[in-house]
Amino acid sequence: MAVIHKERVAWDSARVFAAAATDDVYWWLGEELGRHLGQRYVLDLTRTRRRLRREDASRAGRAHEDALSAEVAAWRARIEDVLTECPELAPVLRQVIEETGRRLPR
């Protein structure tokens, strides 16, 4: 059985979830997060989407990049907390990360 590194899963989740928040894969990811983690995470993804879309629309210098960095950091912390409480979710999250990444445009 492979060892899953909690911090790596959290980092990968954060980058992929923040990227997916402003893409069409957002809808699929929201359903997956709701099913595996609960509605709180669907609401968090919706908030991420709103913040990133707002900053993208404003195009105020580095505002979008700063907002994206803040969202990635927030998601990393959320997922680390989830994996601390429920380490058995790591393989499920790995699958969600991989599938979300495949669905994102290249």
pLDDT single digits (tens) 76-98: 999 999 999 999 999 999 999 99
Q: What is the reported pLDDT for 79?
A: 97
Residue 5 within any structural domain of the chain: no
Residue 1 within any structural domain of the chain: no
CA gap 41, 56 in Å, rounded:
22
Give the range of the structural domain holding residue 52, as residue numbers without chain letter.
Answer: 19-103
How many CB atoms lie under 10 A from the CB of residue 47?
Answer: 13
pLDDT single digits (tens) 17-33: 999 999 999 999 999 99
pLDDT at residue 3 is higher than 90:
no
Residue 2 within any structural domain of the chain: no
Residue 14 within any structural domain of the chain: no
Query: How many independent structural domains does the chain possess?
Result: 1
pLDDT single digits (tens) 35-73: 999 999 999 999 999 999 886 656 655 777 888 999 999
Residue 36 within any structural domain of the chain: yes
CB-facing half-sphere around the CA of 9: CA atoms within 13 A: 22
How many CB atoms lie under 10 A from the CB of residue 28?
Answer: 15
CB-facing half-sphere around the CA of 33: CA atoms within 13 A: 26
Helix (H) or strand (E) holding 85: helix 63-85
